[in-house]
Each structure stands twice: as structure tokens, then as C-alpha cells.
Chains A and B, each alone.
Chain A
Amino acid sequence: MIPNVAPAPADSAQATAAAAVQPNSVQPKPGQRTAFSKVSASRLVGSPGGVAGIVWLGALVIASLTAPWWLPYKTEDQDFTAVLSGPTAAHWLGTDELGRDLLSRIFAAAAGTLGTSLITVIVGVGLGTALAMVAAGGDRTEGVISRVTEVMMSLPGTVIILAVIGAVGTNIPLVMAILGVLISAGIYRVMLGQAKSLQSQLYVDAAKVDGVSTLGISLRHVLPGLTNTIVVQSALIFAVGMLIQAGLAFIGFGPPIPQPSWGGMIQGASQHVYDAPWLMVPTGAVLALTVLAANAIGNALGKAPNTAASHLPSAGARRQRGGSVASAGAAADAAVGAAASAADPRAMPAKGQLSVRNLSVGVDGGTPLVTGVSFDVEQGTVLGLVGESGCGKTMTALSLLGLLPAGVSAAGGQILWNGKNLAAATEREMEGIRGRDIALISQEPMRALDPMFTVGYQLAGAIRRLRKVGKAEARAEALSLLEKVGIVDAKRILKTYPHQISGGMAQRVAIALALSGRPRLLVADEPTTALDVTVQAEILSLLRTLVKDTGMSVVMVTHDLGVVADICDNVAVMYAGQVVESGRTATILDNPRHPYTLALLAADPHANTAADMPERLATISGQVPQPKDWPTGCRFMARCQFAGAACAAPVPLLSSGSESGMVRCVKADELAVEGLEWLATEVPTHRVLKIVEKDLA
């Protein structure tokens, strides 16, 4: 009867009571205050369900409060000429076994039902919130309160409520208040995480230093942040309260007869399910609608905008994949293909050759994220994709494997892998390519491995799939792969879970996983960024050895020019979704042609040796523009020290004159002739103490 003593989960994952046990459950990050602050009226108004819920509840409240003036009959009026009647002109919703008007009884009972359910809400949500705020204030109190609420949640609430009724009688307000106490444990569980997160905000620390009392902090800083959750939970608990109250009345613990109550009326109706089934409908419908209304309001407010995208596109999207690019690409194919073959005398590319031609990636039916990107990766070479965050490096890299996040896809151009256009390949075709031809290692090794399975299971599984070998052979191969990536006690590591190993070790495992299908191309998305400096060097040297030993090629996404200098044969510098300069690594690092490359080098502390380290490192003012703000001309123009009028027109990628080098700057030649340098900007003296922003961090 107590359907969920723990509040029903709203549609958002965060509000689920059980989410507390989720292994990597997303905790609200400190500083993300907006994620759960004020009640969002727009969210409520924007949801049709929410609006309908408010309208229904409002109408019901008004109707029940004004009932004495408009109800056609008194609740006890008996019309023996129309016993158990269906809807008629005299009795719109029919009558019960004593000929009493259902409409009158339903609305006469509404005020009491709604009012007493409100008691449960006030006690339950109030107590739960208060407990959460107290618990968030100190670890010891949290331990005690959590233990007590755990006990409360594991009690058979219904049975206890009935025992209470035995003791105090059918005093409904009191019973509903005690129900609120039982429910507060569930509310506490939902609130605690948020209250703790709010309590750990820096401004709360500051308030503590200022001597604001614990109570003051709770009321002034924590409570406002909980407002939305309080409203959401109130709506949901209101619904639970109504259901339970009706249930109690149904089994005979409602208001004293003949006073009407929804549960009691359904009980009466159940006696006549054989001869007058209609009697069930009106009361049941009003009760269900009222519960639905409260739930709809709660869900409308509780639905947090879901920012994280699924890594598995929906079935429909998977089937569609490739279709759009196939048509969009076909037109471009002829032109680009001709251009490519003209530029490249070899008609058939060698095994393991990647040619990206004019690739565009964008949000489906919307903003482009990457436009007109072209590069080549020869067998056994390493290409670096360099640039600041938000330049489209990762999107470019993921498109090579067809692993773009849900809602993002290749919108045009070609990804030619041994002559086959992967941009237009179907999901099934890509499944044949992934792992076997092209493999991936990603930035955060810990999150790249499945926390629920052992390293051995994941590695051996991949080997069995990709090499079509038996269990025992896969196990042996897993062991040898781990040894190959420099893990000494491979046998032990096979048995561990990802959380039991260090980040560096996890990245080695991830590399072993990527190697399990003997790929010809490895896409490495910032493989060292999340690691300690010493571990970074080890991983890079491992990758270098693997390239030498296996002859595979690598596309290395990085924002670290040191990594580029260390391992890459060629570089493509990306800015705002475009390649702005590409060519051989040595050429570009020694003789950069694009102002952005120039600026990146000038701003990199590692690119300057101790001797010629400038007093002040150069910076690149401003930020990478958002895709929607990209200008038609040079996208770097707004931040460029050398920008001029000519930069406002679209800039083509042209040969820079040195070997295969290309550059996208109208002033490239001019700059080269004049030998200009990217200068550190003058800092006004009053701001000298400000720490200089490191663009490449």
C-alpha cells in the first residue's frame, strides 16, 4: 500500500533514491550551482504535463473549497429512484448504492484528501530536508542520521502505520503526519548529496571564516540551493500521500462513515463490481488524475537537462549512419577525388593509408564542428592533431572510427581508408574496421575501461572477437600483450578490476586493448593528458616503440607541442574546426608559417630553452570562438596580432612552399619575409601580479 516509501524516481537519474549506490554516479561538481538552484518556472511552463497538472490541481482545489455553494446535492442526500445509476442529467457521474450523487461526494471529499496529504508533505519533506542539512554540516552527525534513516527505510511502513492506527484510532491528520516521518528517510537520502555538495562550496567556507553560524549557513546558503528538489519531492510525496490515504480508507481506516472519502468510495464500489461496474470509474479517475497531476508537476520540475550524450547511438541512428554522408559526399567525391589523384600520382594507396579529404563533422541538422579538414597519414608514421580545446581535434579523430557521440555525425567529405570511404560506411562495415584496422585509446584510461569487469575479461574478450581465437589462446595472448606494453606482473593485472590499478597502468592496459586486433592505425585522443609527467614520458616512449615494431600509423590528438616534437612525423594544426597549417613536424616547429602556430610556440614554456626563455611568456588573447560565432573569413582573425583587412575574406589552404606544407593565411608569405614574431602582450603595471594564463595547459 505504501507504493514507494522511498520517493519514486523522477525522470532524472539524479533524483533516484537508489542512485546512491551507483558506482560512478555523477556527483554534481562543486561550482555547478545552477544545476540545482532555483525553481525553474520556465521548465514547468515548458512541459505540457506540468501545465496540465497545475491546471487540474488548481481546479480541484478551487472546486473543493467552493463545494458547499455549487454542489448539486448534499453528500448524504439519497435518491432512491436512482440507485446505482450511471451518468444521467440529474446525476452527472451517477449514484452509489444508496442513491447518493457521486459528483457531490467526490468533490466534498477532495478538500480533506488534499489537505491531509499536505500534512504528509510538510512533515516528510520538512523533516527530510532538515535532517539532510544537519547531516551535511558534520561527518559524525551524518553517520548517525544516515544509520537511523537506513533503519527507517527498511521497515514495513504499512504495517507500522496500521499499528499506529490501532493505538491512536483513525485520526487521519495524525496518521498522515506519522507517515510523513516514515517517508522523511527517503527524502533525506535524496537531499543529502545535494546538501553536502552545497555545503562544500567555496562561498560556504568563506561564510564559515566570516563567523556565520551553522544554522545561518544552512538557511542562507544550503536551503536556497535545495529549493527545486524540495518542490519536486513535495509534488511526488503529495501523490504518495494521496494514494496511501485512499488505500487506508479502502481497507476501512478512513474517515468515519458516512463521511465520504475517495478510498472508501472505491471500497463501496468494489462491492458492486458485479452489478454496477460504472461505480468504479468516476472516483478512480479523479484519484488517478490527481496523482498524475502531482507526479507530472514533480517530473516537469525534476527533469534536469541531460548534458551527457550516450556513447551508443539509438538503433535508428545506427541504421541511418552513412546514408546522409553517402549522398552529400557523392557530389564532392568526383571533384575531390580528381583533385586527390592529381595531387597524388599513386592511384592505389598503400596498405594502411589514411586520406581525409574535405571532412566536415557537425551536429545533426545544425552547427558544424569541423569543416573542410584534409590530411594524410602514411603507413608507419605519426600525425599530430594540435590545437586548443574546442578546435575539433577530438571530433575529427573520433570520426575516423565512426564513434562520434550521439547526435553528431560526419556531414560531408571523405575518410579514405585504403581507398574505402569510411565517412559513408554503414555501422556494420565500421564494426569490421574498428579494432581490426583502426583502434582507439582515449584520454582518461580509468574511464575508458569497464569498472565492472576484470582487465583479463575485457582484454581476452577483445582478442577472441578480433582475432577469432579460442578462450585459452586469447588468455595467453592477453598475457603477452600486457607484457608487450610494459606491464611486469601481467598475470596479476589480468585478475584486477580497473579501479585497483594506477592511471598509468590503466593506460597501458587500454593500449593493450587497442592492440588486441593488430590495428594498422591507432587513434590516440590525448593519451597522456590525464597522466603524471613521468608516466607521460613512459607512455610516449611505449607508443614510439610500438610504431617502430608493428609498423602501424598513429593519429595523435594533443595540445602539447612537446608531445608533437617527441613523437610526430607530421602535424596538422587545427583552429576552430579547420586545419590552419600542416606539414612535417621539424619544418613547422622550426619555421611556423601560420600566426596561430607561431603563437602556440611562443606561448609554450617548454618550446623555449632556459637560455632564450623570455621574461614574459606570450599569450593568445581571447578564446576559440564557438562554432556559431565563426566568421566567414579567417577564424583566427579576432585574436591575431597581424590581422588586416584582407583577413575578412575566406582563406584557402595553400601550399606553404616547403615540401608538403600547407598554410591557411593570406599574410603567410608577408610574415615569412618580414620574420615577425608573436609578442608577449604588454601588461598594465597594476595587473602585473595577476598570474599569466597558460593557453596550452
Chain B
Amino acid sequence: MEVTMALFITKRLLMALATVLVVAVLAFLLVHAMPGSPGAVSLGAGASQDAIDEVNTRLGWNDPLPAQFFRWLGDAVQGNLGASLIDGRSVSADLGNRLPVTASLAAGATVLSAVLGIGLGVTAAVRGGLVDRIVGAICGLAVALPAFWIGIIFVYLFAVQSSVFPATGYVPFEVSPQDWGLSLALPVITLAVGGAAFIARQTRASMLEALQQEHVRTLRATATPTWKILYVHALRYASLPIVAGIALQFIGLFGGSVIAEQLFAMPGLGQAVQTSVSTHDAPAVQGVVVIATVVVVAVNLVLELATKFLDPKLRAS
């Protein structure tokens, strides 16, 4: 059993590595397809062709593509993602500063979505009837409303009408844990609305399926209290698809951070993608795509192992 588990983990790790590599190649090619050479981008309009050529040669832009890629890869594994074409700062350092922002945002939104979604989904499945229909309607509305729209409404309600939360900005945890929490509140809630609705639907469907299983009858026949059937046995049975749903949701929420960071002016990865794409800052785009992929793939790997651990059949085989 230990051997197969180790084999499984090894396989998954290799696959994750391959995924990151594929994305790295893809990002490299995309960046090369961007309009404007690095020299043109970094020197801006009005630069002479000679100056542009000089920068391009210095950056190795005219070298064969494979050589460029492997040079980038060699630097990347040492933690050097190059320098921004716009301000010349280290991309790694910049992304390093931004990662905690997006991580807090995505993690917070995932946790809140999971808690709200599982709670709502279980309630809908267990109570049925009117409660189920109300939860269903709320979820239907929540997945239909775009996150950016919800976010603006929240800003209007909680920051403009009553200044409970700051409308924009981000306070690092080291500076003030309390302000950190407050600054995250609105973006996290904004992202969690859709996420919670998705997880609630998944949870409701899985719970209903769990309650249709014949072993529920056996549990009742042995006088198992209803709360235990619902919250220990059925929820445990439903936990696999729920966790899989949360894993999918994390990917979506990580992407959602682009919107939330733009809306709430937070210096995260999403904002970096948006600016670097707008300014054609090639090394920054390449770096942020790879970093985002590494984070998402890593979290996915952990959740997949969690699913594996949750299922006795998979665990044993």
C-alpha cells in the first residue's frame, strides 16, 4: 500500500512538473508573438531603431528560440525570471511581493466559499421543500451575477453608504493583521458569492445522492440518530465530489483575483497580469503565467491527494 501510494505521488508530481513545463513553453511562445520587440517596449515611442536593436541584442532577442527558452529556463529554476522591460525591476522580486496578496485572496475566497457552500448545500438537501427552493434560487442568481458587478455593489453598500470596510487597497499582514483582514473582506466576499453557489449546488447534489444509498437504510435500521446519518455518514460519502468541486473552484477563484484586484486596487498577481499584458512587458507576462500555473497545479495536487485519502477504495488500491 505504501509503495503504491508513493508511486502514485511520484507520478502526480512528474505530471505536475510536465504541466508547468508545457505552460512555460506556451508562455514563451505567446510572449514572442507579442507585438513589439523588447527594445521597442522598454525604450518606448520615439526611440531610434539603433537603440532598439542594441537593447534587443543585449537581451538576446535575436538568438534562436530554443536557445532563448533554455536560457530563460535555466535562470527560472534559479529563481530569476528576468527584469521588467518597463521599470527594469526584477520580475521574481515583484511577483514575490504580489503572491501573498493573491494567495490571501484566493485562499480566503476558497475557504469562505467552501464553508458557505457546504452549509447551504447541506441545508438545502436536508430540509428540502421551500428551503431547498430558496437556496436554489439564490444560487442560480449568484452564479449569474458577474463578480465585478457584485463587487461594485458591495463597495457601494459597505464602503460608500456605510464605511464598514475600506473600498480599495491592501494592507500586508505584517503591517496590521486587523487591517489586513478588513482590506481583504470585500474582495474575498465578492469572489466567494459565485464560488459558494457552485459548491452549494455540488454539495446538495452529492448529499441527495448519498441519502439515496441503501446503506442509509441500514443505518436507520440500527437506530443511528438522524444527525449522525446526515452529518457523519452522508456528508462523508458526499465529501469526495465536494472536495473535487472545491479544487475546481480554487482554479476559478485564482483567475477571479484578476477582477477583484483590479476592482479593489490590490497589488496582486492578477493586477500584474493585467498591467504587464497591457504594456507588453514580455518577461513579466511570462513570469506571472508560470508562477500562477505553479501555484494552481500545486494546490490541485494537494487537493487531489486529499480526495485520494478520503476514498477508502482509492487509498487501499
Contact = CB atoms under 8 A, between A and B. Distances in A.
B29 to A, nearest CB: 8
B143 A295 contact: yes
Contact of B146 (A150, A247, A447): A247
Nearest to A267: B148
Contacts of A19: 205, 241
A435 B214 CA distance: 16
A449 interface: yes
Interface string B222-254: 111110011001101100111011001101101
B88 to A, nearest CB: 19
B281 to A, nearest CB: 9
Contact of B222 (A18, A289, A517): A517
Contact of B19 (A16, A151, A299, A452): A151
A465 B255 contact: no
B252 A295 contact: no
Interface string A497-508: 101100000000
A135 to B, nearest CB: 18
Contact of A247 (B259, B295, B311): B259
B263 A310 contact: no
Given A246-B146, A312-B226, A434-B223, A167 B209 contact: no
Contacts of B262: 250-251
Interface residues of A, number: 107
Contact of A273 (B145, B152, B223, B256): B152
Contacts of A447: 213-215
A13 B273 contact: no
Contacts of A287: 146, 149
A159 B222 contact: no
A247 B220 contact: no
Contacts of B293: 155-156, 159
Contacts of B136: 11
Interface stretch (B58-66, B75-83, B124-132, B170-178): B124-132
Contacts of A153: 248, 251
B211 to A, nearest CB: 4
Given A1-B255, A442-B218, A448-B214, A26 B248 contact: no
A461 B141 CA distance: 42
Interface string A300-321: 0000001011111011101000
A696 interface: no
Contacts of B149: 266, 280, 284, 287-288
A18 B258 CA distance: 25
A160 B26 contact: yes
A316 B132 CA distance: 13
Interface string B260-273: 00110000011001
Contact of A21 (B15, B221, B244, B285): B244
Contacts of B30: 163-164, 166-167
B96 interface: no
Contacts of B236: 452-453
Nearest to A17: B248
B223 A159 contact: no
Contacts of B155: 270, 273
Interface in B265-292: 269-270, 273-274, 276-278, 280, 285, 288-289, 292
A662 B300 CA distance: 67
A159 B258 contact: yes
A159 B252 CA distance: 11
Contacts of B252: 2-5
B60 to A, nearest CB: 20
B297 interface: yes
B43 interface: no
Interface string A503-517: 000000010011011
Interface in B56-112: none
Main secondary structure of the interface of B (DSSP, over half): helix
B193 to A, nearest CB: 10
Contacts, number: 312
A401 interface: yes
B307 interface: yes
Nearest to B294: A156
Contacts of A449: 215, 218
A165 B276 CA distance: 11
A269 interface: yes
Nearest to A26: B209
Contacts of B126: 314-315
Contacts of A154: 19, 251, 296-297, 300
B160 interface: yes
Contact of B258 (A1, A4, A243): A1
Contacts of B285: 163, 166
B138 interface: no
Nearest to B221: A440
B194 interface: yes
B141 A288 contact: yes
B116 interface: no
Contacts of A364: none
B46 interface: no
A88 interface: no
A18 B245 contact: yes
Interface string A247-266: 10011110000000001001
Given A24-B213, A166-B34, A292-B141, A156 B296 contact: yes
A256 to B, nearest CB: 14
A277 interface: yes
Given A251-B262, A434-B222, A22 B152 contact: no
A415 interface: no
B164 interface: no
Taking each of A11, A450, A514, which has the highest tally of chain B beta carbons within 10 Å of its own beta carbon? A450
B107 to A, nearest CB: 15
Contacts of A165: 277
A1 B259 contact: yes
Interface of A: 1-6, 8-9, 11-13, 16-26, 147, 150-151, 153-160, 162-169, 239, 243, 246-247, 250-253, 263, 266-267, 269-270, 273-274, 277, 280, 284, 287-289, 291-292, 295-296, 299, 306, 308-312, 314-316, 318, 401, 403, 431-432, 434-436, 439-440, 442, 444, 447-453, 461-462, 465-466, 497, 499-500, 510, 513-514, 516-517
26 contacts: A2-B252, A3-B256, A4-B198, A9-B205, A11-B205, A17-B248, A18-B241, A20-B244, A21-B244, A26-B209, A151-B18, A155-B251, A158-B255, A159-B273, A159-B292, A160-B26, A162-B258, A289-B144, A291-B145, A310-B216, A311-B216, A312-B229, A315-B128, A403-B221, A452-B237, A499-B316
Closest 6 CB pairs of A and B: A158-B255, A18-B244, A311-B216, A440-B221, A167-B33, A166-B277
Interface of B: 15, 18-19, 22-23, 26-27, 30-31, 33-35, 126-129, 136, 140-141, 143-149, 152-153, 155-156, 160, 194, 198, 201-202, 205-206, 208-209, 211-226, 229-230, 233-234, 236-237, 240-242, 244-245, 248-249, 251-252, 254-256, 258-259, 262-263, 269-270, 273-274, 276-278, 280, 285, 288-289, 292-293, 295-297, 300, 307, 311-313, 316
Given A151-B22, A291-B145, A447-B213, 12 more contacts: A1-B147, A5-B255, A26-B209, A159-B269, A266-B149, A269-B152, A277-B160, A280-B149, A292-B141, A314-B126, A434-B223, A450-B233
